[in-house]
A and B are shown apart, each in its own frame.
Chain A
Amino acid sequence: MYPSSYELGGRMLNFASMPDITGRKHTFAPWLGLLLTVSGALSNGLPFIGFPAAPVPWMSLLLSLTGIVVVLIGLWRIFGRSAVYKGKISGSIAAAFSLLFLAGSITFFWGARHIPSESANAPQVGQRVPDFTLPDSTGHSVSLTQLFSGDAGSPPPKALLLIFYRGYW
């Protein structure tokens, strides 16, 4: 005889509410913490999808640090109140990965800001910039004066926006 739907439902219900033999609960805190530290690391990519870049470094750091606090709460539950919470192994794994992501985020945060803090002798507003001649990406030499003279057909620019960047090597 096939079990009635009532019986099936009853069994499923039974299964879902089957008490853990130790009676201890899982805590999701270490995993939530890990999720936060991973989000912190990933948030560095936000400017690439059009998000304003200025708050991103701090947001990334804040997310990672919040994540670690949540992980610590989880560890405190698991190890400090082990009569109530279980998951020592999974909690430790989540904590280890969170730490790894936090270390990465901090290293990146520090590294991204580790640039000469001031360029005191760089040209200041109101000063003249030195002229120069450099090869363009096709290898042709171009001087500052030539850049001001404009291409054939296009009017000469009123100003140049010189963008110095780190390069992709």
Chain B
Amino acid sequence: MRGIEKSLPEFQAQGILPVAISVDAPEVSENLRRKRGYTFPFLSDPKAEVIRRYELLHPHGGPDGTDISRPAEFLVDRSGTVRWENFTEDIRVRPRSDELLSAARSIP
């Protein structure tokens, strides 16, 4: 997400709005945003309801066996259709900004 923040002008130029979603409470996300200087929106799904609806639940993946989200990225166009997606196999490996930007270029 540091990479995305760094490339935010390029994302904006392409009309892409990054939105981060996790089970973190709003205060936790706000802390993270302030600490790392993130300027795009962070949404909170503490009960993992949306995460569950998107079939992205990682059951007992969090501390004390709480349910969290698996890492995943979607490019969703204005009709709500998925244009590109990524499910990483290793939590250390996330897509780079240039991969995301080149995927975004194919969206009219």
Contacts and interface: CB of A to CB of B under 8 A. Distances in A.
Do A and B bind?
yes
Contacts of A137: 26-27, 29-30, 33, 41-44
A161 B11 contact: yes
Contacts of A147: 17, 19, 41
A148 interface: yes
Give the interface size class of chain B: 35 or more
Contacts of B82: 123-129
B34 to A, nearest CB: 9
Interface residues of A, number: 54
Interface string B60-92: 011100101111111111111111110111111
A157 interface: yes
A128 to B, nearest CB: 5
Contacts of B73: 161-164
A162 B74 contact: yes
B69 A161 contact: no
A168 to B, nearest CB: 6
Interface in B44-72: 44-45, 49-51, 53-59, 61-63, 66, 68-72
Contacts of B104: 159, 161
Given A115-B91, A132-B50, A168 B32 contact: yes
A55 B31 CA distance: 30
Interface string B97-108: 000100010011
Nearest to A122: B55
Contacts of A135: 26, 43-44
Contacts of B44: 134-137
A148 B76 CA distance: 10
Interface in A151-167: 154-167
A131 B29 CA distance: 21
Interface of B: 1, 4, 11-12, 14-24, 26-30, 32-33, 41-45, 49-51, 53-59, 61-63, 66, 68-85, 87-94, 96, 100, 104, 107-108
